[in-house]
Chain A
Amino acid sequence: MNNTKEKSNLFFTVVWLVLALLTIMTFSLGEAGMAGKGVMLTLLAITMIKSQLVANYFMGLRRTKFLWRVIMFGYFAIVGGLIAVAYLMGLK
């Protein structure tokens, strides 16, 4: 029983570090003041990955029924997608 405890805690710590890293990346992109389609899509992708990480591992949806995972993933996909569409419309 003992080793799974360390392993899962370590796992969550790794997820936390990844999230922190992605946040710093987002922030640095922002600081660099870069704009345009590529940057926007990258930032959106990072955001959706971070959200999915939180949902899957922090919220534990990874182990739940397919229905709940579809709802959560669908939410990130739709919200992220619509935001991307709005920004692409704006670029034209």
Chain B
Amino acid sequence: MNHSSATLSQEDLPGDFAIWIFIFAEMLAFGVLFVSYAFTRAQNIELFNASQLTLNRTSGAINTLVLITSSYFVVRGVEAIKRGLNQQCSHWLTGAFLLGGVFVGIKMVEFQDKFAADITMSTNNFYMFYLSLTFFHFMHVLMGMVILAVIIMKARHGGYSAHDYVGVETGASFWHMVDFLWIILFPLVYIIR
């Protein structure tokens, strides 16, 4: 697969390095939460397996597809801005933003069900991890959407060019992080038993 830019010299990280320090910190926090979930489950498997069944696996899967697609839209947006096409970039990113909204909508329905069933972080250890992980990730999706919105605004006003699109790549890197954290979270919490 002769990827067009594979031949380029070793580049630096896409986007501003400041966001990457934040990305690594978030990855560390989520990583510790994932591993803590796994080892806590090892101590009470029946509880975790039982409670896991009450989760809405379909909405989780749909959300995964939604986030992956929105991540794909962001990639297309970055490819567009690399060629200086501000408007096209803002359209792709708007698509990604709307899909983020879909994710948030589905998530809020899911949370509503749980709270209606009087399930909270104090119900049991599984729900504590489930709600902590999904809510922590949910807030990251919201933050990612705020970042995308800022970039969309600037792109719509032609704020970027083929030689200056660091801001777009910075927001894109954060959004992709939010995506792959969910890619790990979904099977771990919803599927694997």
Contacts and interface: CB of A to CB of B under 8 A. Distances in A.
Interface string A53-77: 0110111111111101001000100
Interface residues of B, number: 54
A33 to B, nearest CB: 8
Interface in B82-122: 83
Q: How large is the interface on A (under 10, 10 to 19, 20 to 34, 35 or more residues)?
A: 35 or more
Contacts of A39: 192
A79 B35 contact: yes
Contacts, number: 145
B72 A65 contact: no
A20 B68 contact: yes
Nearest to A61: B13
Contacts of A89: 39, 42
Interface string B1-32: 11111101011111000000000100100010
Given A12-B76, A79-B34, A86-B35, A60 B57 contact: no
B184 A47 contact: yes
Contacts of B172: 59
Given A40-B192, A47-B188, A16 B57 contact: no
A8 B41 contact: no
A75 B180 CA distance: 12
A87 to B, nearest CB: 6
A34 B178 CA distance: 28
Nearest to B40: A86
Interface of A: 4-5, 7-9, 11-13, 15-16, 19-20, 23-24, 26-27, 29-31, 35, 39-40, 43-44, 46-47, 50-51, 54-55, 57-66, 68, 71, 75, 78-79, 82-83, 85-87, 89-90
